[in-house]
Amino acid sequence: HTHLPKNSQPQFVHFNMALRTGHSARHAAAASGGGAPSARTAHPIAKPKPARTVDMHAHFLPKSWPNYAKRYGGVDWPWLRHDGEKPTGTFGYNRDCGAMLMVDDDEFRPVTAACWDVEERLIDLDRMRIGRQIISQTPLLFQWQRDGPVGAQVARDFNDLALEMVRSPEAQGRLETLCQVPLQDIDLACQEVSRCKATGHVGVQIGNHFGPKDLDDDALIAFLQHCADEDFPVLIHPWEMSPIGPGNRTKDYMMGWTVGMPTETHLSITRMILGGAFDRLPESLRVCFAHGGGSFPALLGRLDNAWRERSVARGKAQRPPREYMGRFSVDSAVFDPLVLRLLVETFGSDKVMLGSDYPFPLGEQEIGSLAKTAPGLTLAQREQILFRNSENFWKLSPLADSVKDDLPSSKVTDKSSTTTKSDADEPWLNPDKGPYPASRHLLSPQYRWIASPPFMQLRGTSTTPSVQPNGHSRTEIGFDQPSARVVGNFVKGSTSTSLRSLPLWNPATGSYDGEVGMSSAAEMQEAIASAKAAVTPGSPWREMSLENRCDIVKKLANSLQEECESFARAESRDTGKPLALARTLDVPRSIANLNFFAGLAPHIGGEHRRSSGPMESTSHAVRKPVGVVGLVTPWNLPLYLLTWKLAPALVMGNSVVAKPSELTPSTASMLAALGARAGLPDGVFNVVHGLGHEAGEALVSHPDVGAVSFTGGTATGAKVAASAAPQFKKLSLELGGKNPAIVFDDCSFEETVRSLVRSSFLNSGQICLCSSRILVQKDGRSDFFDRFVQAFVEEVERLRVGPPEAEDTDLGPVISSDHRSKILQSIEQAQKEGGQVLTGGTSLPTRLQETGGYYVLPTVILGLGPDSTMFQQEVFGPVVTIHPFESEADAIELANNSRYGLSASVWTESAARMEVASKLDAGTVWVNTWLNRELHVPFGGVKESGVSREGGMHSLDFYSEASTICWKTGSRQPLPMPGGGWANRTQRRGYASSAASSKNAPEPLGAYVLAKRGGDLLFLSGIGPRIPESNEVPGGPIEDNNGLRNDYDAAAQSRQCFENVKSVLRGYNCSLEDLVDVQVFLTDMKRDFATFNAVWKEVMGDHKCCRTTVEVGQLPPGGRIAVELKVVAQIPE
């Protein structure tokens, strides 16, 4: 009561809101993403700040209220029955029945506890990221059929109960309320409006008519005039659905709600216009019609036409009906993206407010998802619908701690920064191209099924066949599913949906194309925990052999080969690149990446060194996995670059958490699903989608992530380095480039021109290795420079820019609207600095404009100096500049005049000029070729183009930790201390003499005669394949008379080595089961590795011990021995 003015004395009735403890735990459970509000378990994620979103159309019921039938008599009084039998099922927002709303003894409708329980309501609001909600009574409580004083008291009671509810501590200031009034007595109704405004209500809710009186009735106009005078906004809600036609044709199939209510609202708006109500009322009156204005928007054209053509249809309206659209607002409770588009185009985006009809089952079950994901809305329009219009209409101040972090603002991460999509109008989708894509949250029957199954479902793993609302049968969703999709995270072996999402936009059409998760830092931490568990000691992946890991990666490559077309289409759809390019470059190279590292890793061996003298020993290096590695990949080559990092990380035994670009997420999740099918244990390969500053930052800064490989812009790479460096993580950065191509006048002319067009414009210039500065020789003695420029421009103009799926398309669109704007601004800046656009530029032909896609023509610019913006800054698009040089020294100086140093190319037929390549500041320099990648060699940049190298052994080194093991093989006598104090302490060491311990043992049968015992360990070195009785190597001679090597029997030599080991071990009462470490030396790893493995399995069986296989040039004497062993055994007590 203390919240009310002292001069106000409302007659409060006790309102049992069932407020309970455990509020924070329940909200934490909801924040975890579980849809069922009954899940009350606590969750480690902290409850987020509320969003700024406002739901202005929601209802409530008190848990109990006075027995009005007993107090006033009469019939048709509503009440709530909490006991007795209740219907099963859910009745709105996945909730079961909490009570039955009764009218006398008749059941009216089941209702849920969220009607009166504030905590339950806020659980739903937090789950759906709704910051504030305006509640009003369900129209059944209006009671306008009662006498005026009775109706006034009922209204007063319910208004005070509503105020008590919204001002309870549990409401956290996030609920506001509308009052109800006794319209049967206008004077009392006006008095209640004034009282409720003074006590804190933000507006009033009335029905769309009162009995036979419509909103153009004099009494109701007087009431609305009073609301205008009080500056008190009005929500007009349909009620009392009148029967239509003989026998009440709307009684079946809930048509009273689905047909009657929209018709009632349409009728009331029309009466206000044609009845002259709006002409009689001041423009300051704020009026909103619930449920999107019913059927009025669809029939506006008919009304307008009738007003113009027939005078009798004009009524009292002074202007055509369309000119009254600015006089009122509507809510967004229309449940269909097409209809929301109609509302925005009819009324304007400033007249549409988010409204849900919560908590009833016909309301929008994911509040706000329609406004967040409907196609064609700009960020500004979405903000208007979600909160700005409500804040203005109801005069609400934003919540002090609210955030806007879940708006689908088409945030775009380019290679240098994160920018926000501009508010420029997005083109509407073309209805001729098929149905509008829909969010998984939308309730429209024709769309609901489209994205309901997990997007990443594989063929053969889906699901119960079903017939969809449009009549089509769907039995599974494969990789090639063309509908709107939801790309989820892949964590711990399964797909999961993030609490928030970002819209995906098709670069070729500019249209909405589904959603991708916008994961929080907490969701990323969960994925990292899953990855850490996958590499803990004893886990299947940690204990798996290198060979088995490589087999799984090969299976992944084979699965990718089988799904080549699906992956190519997904890659083209996300990036806008030509489908032909994805088929011939992206997917095949990704398969090659997986196969290459799976084939390389088993043959790497270990670095092995022997030393002699007093410190005689053997040292070898072993590689151990880093643990959890983080992979951050860009949008230009999503699958190509992910597999380049993933394959070596997996074969070396790591677990992976990948954060792809939020613009191109599809193939990463698809690949993770394939990995699970190929046999990767849960948690080994995780994919988490989201924004860089949130999910990406949580990944690179996490202490459990031991290595980070990042490909992207230099500015972002600097932030990654700053985050990772204090924890001394292994770090690989492949960053931006401004790559020069040096063209000498002795080059192979035609081949050079065609090659440079490809190197400049492949993938619309969105490859970090693309040539962007072409330096052409111009010495004044020939016309080479002019001929080259002319030929280059002519070749560029032959390129076909068009839709990705067209077979003749050379260039598709760039990745996003923002990136396109950035490229066009760079071209304009170049022109301002004196650049001459030879072809391309900022304009587009009509055929490309009409697509709505993010197209940029291939552009060639001449006349810029080395200090110009475009010469120095990366554009990352289909733009290239041409610059003259005179001498080799000039070419080198121009090429190195950049803060970048990723790649370069030199084009000449002169062997003498090829040394120019060694003088360029670049990680990779091609001569007379481009993008010719040998996977064994190192790849990376210098200067601001990167840190570290990947490729071949460099990748395996990066994704592993080298550990050196030094084994003393000579005398165990330690070197003396400087004072000679060790000389007299030998016997105190506790080791038996080598000679004494082994005097009865047979001699080793190899190149080195050495058997040493240290404590309970026996060290045997030089165990070769000679047969003791004959001192010959089995399998025949291995040299002919000319000293040439003949074939040998690797299997026979391997078996003999093991027989010799066993013969030595028997002298110490040992067997092969006592071996704890084996080093294998092979002269030809490629030829003999598989053969030795087969003998190993035959001889050793299931016995496990440490083993290292090393390739050596030859084994003494003279290359006669092909295999030799060094072993350590534990001597039984």
Q: Which residues are catalytic?
A: 734, 768
Q: What are the CA-CA distances from residue 111 to residues 91, 140, 355, 533, 592 (Å)?
A: 7, 13, 19, 44, 59
Tokens of 501: 């999402």
Query: What is the Cα Rg of the chain in Å?
Result: 38
CA–CA separation, 127 and 122 (whole Å): 8
CA–CA separation, 642 and 670 (whole Å): 12
At a CB cut-off of 8 Å and minimum separation 6, what does 1082 contact? 1088, 1089, 1092, 1109, 1110, 1111, 1112, 1122, 1123
Measured in degrees and rounded to the nearest 5, phi and psi for residue 738 equal: -135, 75
At a CB cut-off of 8 Å and minimum separation 6, what does 18 contact? 63, 113, 116, 117
Name 1012's bridge partners. 1019
Yes or no: say if 393 and 286 are a contact pair by the CB < 8 Å rule. yes
Listing DSSP states for 844-867 in one string gives --HHHHTTT------EEEE---TT
At a CB cut-off of 8 Å and minimum separation 6, what does 826 contact? 869, 870, 873, 875, 877, 879
Largest CA distance in the chain: 127
Q: Which long-range contacts (CB under 8 A, 24 or more apart) does 154-158 make?
A: 154/68, 154/182, 155/179, 155/180, 155/181, 155/182, 155/192, 156/10, 156/11, 156/192, 156/195, 157/11, 157/13, 157/65, 157/66, 158/62, 158/65
CA–CA separation, 698 and 702 (whole Å): 6
Q: Which helix (H) or strand (E) holds 814?
A: none
Listing DSSP states for 247-288 in one string gives TTTTSSTTHIIIIIHHHHHHHHHHHHHHTTHHHHS-TT--EE
Residue type, 1112: V
CA–CA separation, 798 and 51 (whole Å): 51
Residue type, 845: P
Nearest to 53 by CA among 125, 136, 138, 155: 125
Measured in Å, how far apart are the chain's first and last C-alpha atoms?
87
Name 102's bridge partners. 79, 107
Nearest to 661 by CA among 537, 571, 765: 571
**What b/e string do you get for 466-486 counting C-beta neighbours within 10 Å, with b at 16 or more?**
eeeeeeeebeebebebebbbb
Yes or no: say if 922 and 901 are a contact pair by the CB < 8 Å rule. yes
Listing DSSP states for 1088-1101 in one string gives HHHHHHHHHHHHHT
CA–CA separation, 287 and 204 (whole Å): 10
Yes or no: say if 326 and 351 are a contact pair by the CB < 8 Å rule. yes
Listing DSSP states for 682-715 in one string gives TTSEEE----IIIIIHHHHT-TTEEEEEEES-HH
Residue type, 446: Q
How, if at all, do strands 466-467 and 1075-1082 pair? unpaired
Residue type, 349: S
Give the number of other CB atoms < 10 A from CB of residue 805.
14
Half-sphere exposure for 597 (CA within 13 Å, toward CB): 30
Return the ∠ at Cα 646 (arms to 641 and 647), rounded to 5°: 105
